[in-house]
Structure 1
Amino acid sequence: MKLRCIIIDDEYLARRRLQKLLEKHHNILVVAECRNGKDAIKYIKLKEPHFIFLDIQMPDLDGFSVLNRLDKLPYVIFTTAYDSFALKAFEINAVDYLLKPFDQERLDASIDRMVSLKKTNEAYDLGRKLSSLFKEVKHEGDKGQRTDFAIKKNGRLLHVDTEDILFIKSEGNYLELHTESAKHLYRATMNAIEKELSTKDFVRVHRSLVLSKRSIQACFYTGNSHYKIRLKTGLEFTSGRSFKANIVSYLGELNS
C-alpha cells in the first residue's frame, strides 16, 4: 500500500523541488499540493493523507493554524527556511522538520523515520504532543481564535501577541500590525484575519482597518453613517459607511 501525502507550501518552486525529490520513493503517492492554509485544510479532510509536508508561514493561515483546525491529524513533517527556538520544539513534537534547502539524504532520513513510526504502530499522538507547542505560540485550538502572529524578520520567527496590537491596516497584499513600539508586515487578507480575531477584542471599522477595542479612547458620530474614532495614542480614524453596524454594536457593549 502506498503512503498518501500532501505537500503544503506557498512557494511554487519549493513544491516542485520536493515533488522531484520524492520521485525515488515509489511507496509514496502525492495526492495533493496546496499553496495556502485554507486549501490545506480542505484537502487534508478530503484526501485523508498518511502524512503531510507543512510549511510554517503561508497566506491566510500559518502551519500552526492549519493543524489547529483539524480534528484528525496526520503525521507531520515541517518544512521551513527559518531556524529558531520553535523549530527545536518541532523536532520533538512532530515526526521531523526539514530546514530549507534540504537535500535528498535529509529528506530520505525524514521519510524513513516516518515510515518506521507507522510500521511499528508506535503510539504517536501528534495532537497531544503538539498541544505544548500550541500553548507556547498561543493558539487557542478550542475556540479557533488567533492569539498571535508569526512574523518572519531577519531570518527569525517573531511572535506578536494580539494583546499588543493597537490596530491592523491593510496595505496591498499585506497587513500592517501596529503596536505601541513597532509596525510589522504580515501577508494575509483583511477578510481572512477578521474571521480569526476575537470579536470581544477587535472591531472592524473600515474595509482596510481593524481596531483593538482596548486601544479606543472615544467614538463620535459625524453624520452620513460615519464615525470618528480616537485611539488612546491620539491617532484618529474615520469609519466606513458599511461598517456602521459594527460600531453601533461596540457602543452597545460599552453601555450594557
Structure 2
Amino acid sequence: MKTVVIEDSRIARNGLLNMLSVSHELQILGSAANAEEARDLIALHRPQLLFLDIQMPGDDGFQLLDSLDYDPYIIFTTAHAKYAVRSFDYQAIDYLLKPISQERLAISIARALSHHQDQPSHSPLDYDSRVFIKDGDECHLIAVFDISYLESCKNHVRVFFSGKSAFVKKPLRQLECRLPSTLFFRASRQYIINLKHVATIEKSVDEGYEVTMEDSKVIHISRRNGIILGQRLTL
C-alpha cells in the first residue's frame, strides 16, 4: 500500500518511519510535518494509507482530511484520547495513542491491509441494474440510472434518487467499486455524482468547479478533479 506519514514532531515522525520500515507490505512515499506539506505530498502520490497526527501547527488532521478530494485509509496517531470518538466520522482504520509500540503498530497495519484487500461481495453494476436498499422500515428498489448522487455521512452513505433518499451502512469507497465508472464520477471525498443528472458546471473562485445537480444540489469539485471530469466530458 502506498503510504504517507504526517507528524509534526520530528522525533515521533522519525520513530514511526523507522518502525514502519520493517513492513514489506507498505511503500513509504514520504513524510510531512504539517497539513500544508502533506497536501503537496498527497497531491503528488495519491497514497492509499495515511498515518496522521491530529494536533499540528496550522490545520489539524481533521481539517486536512476535509480538504482532500478522495478518502484514503486513515490510521490516526496522537497523544490525545479525546479525539477518538470524532475519528469514527472519518472511518478510521485505527486510532493509535503515543507512545506507539511495534506490536500495536503491527495490528494497525494488518487491519489496513485487510481493508485494502477486501473486494466487493457482488459483481459491478450495469447502467440498467436495479439495487435493493432497506433503510429502517422502508424498502426501495432503485434503478442505477435513477441514482442522482451519493453522499458520505459518517459511517453511512446517503443515496439520492427520484426525489428521495435512503441510507446504506457501507463506506463510500465500497459502493464506488460497484457503480459503473462510465456513468458515475467521484467528485470529492464526500460525493459521487451521476453525470446523467448534472444540470450545470461552473468555475468557482478557488479554480475548482461548482456542479449543480438536477435537484439544485451544488457540489464542489477541486481543480484537479475538475480537469479529470473535463477530459471525460470533452469530445
TM-score of the superposition, structure 2-length normalised? 0.50
C-alpha displacement of 1:62: 0.4
- 1:229-244 matches, within 5 Å, as none
- 1:32-51 matches, within 5 Å, as 32-51=30-49
SS in structure 2 at match of 1:121? coil
Among all aligned residue pairs of Structure 1 and Structure 2, give the percentage whose two residues are the same amino acid.
37
Report what 2:154 is aligned to: 129
C-alpha displacement of 1:88: 3.3
Q: Residues 23-51 of structure 1: CA distance to partner in whole angstroms, max 9, x if unpaired?
A: 22112111010001111111112111110
Report what 1:69 is aligned to: 67
Report what 1:58 is aligned to: 56
127 and 105 in structure 1: CA distance in 2 versus 1, 3 angstrom threshold: farther
Moved over 4 A (4+): none
Distance 2:77 2:156 in 1: 19
SS in structure 1 at match of 2:81? coil
Distance 2:25 2:13 in 1: 19
SS in structure 1 at match of 2:96? strand
Residues 4 and 29 in structure 2, CA contact (< 8 A), matched pair in contact too: yes
Which of 94, 97, 101 is the aligned partner of 1:96? 94
C-alpha displacement of 1:129: 2.6
C-alpha displacement of 1:89: 3.9
Q: Residues 107-141 of structure 1: CA distance to partner in whole angstroms, max 9, x if unpaired?
A: 00001001001111369x99543799xxxxxxxx9
AA in 2 matched with 1:21: M
Query: For structure 2, which runs of at least 5 residues remain unmatched after alignment?
Result: 122-149, 158-188, 191-235
Query: For structure 1, which runs of at least 5 residues remain unmatched after alignment?
Result: 133-140, 143-256
Residues 80 and 98 in structure 1, CA contact (< 8 A), matched pair in contact too: yes
Q: Residues 179-228 of structure 1: CA distance to partner in whole angstroms, max 9, x if unpaired?
A: xxxxxxxxxxxxxxxxxxxxxxxxxxxxxxxxxxxxxxxxxxxxxxxxxx
Which of 69, 79, 91 is the aligned partner of 1:81? 79
Distance 1:10 1:59 in 2: 7
Report what 1:10 is aligned to: 8
Residues 82 and 99 in structure 1, CA contact (< 8 A), matched pair in contact too: yes
Report what 2:103 is aligned to: 105
C-alpha displacement of 1:91: 5.2
CA RMSD of aligned residues (A): 2.8
SS in structure 2 at match of 1:24? coil
TM-score of the superposition, structure 1-length normalised? 0.46
AA in 2 matched with 1:94: A
AA in 1 matched with 2:3: C
User: How many residues matched?
Assistant: 130
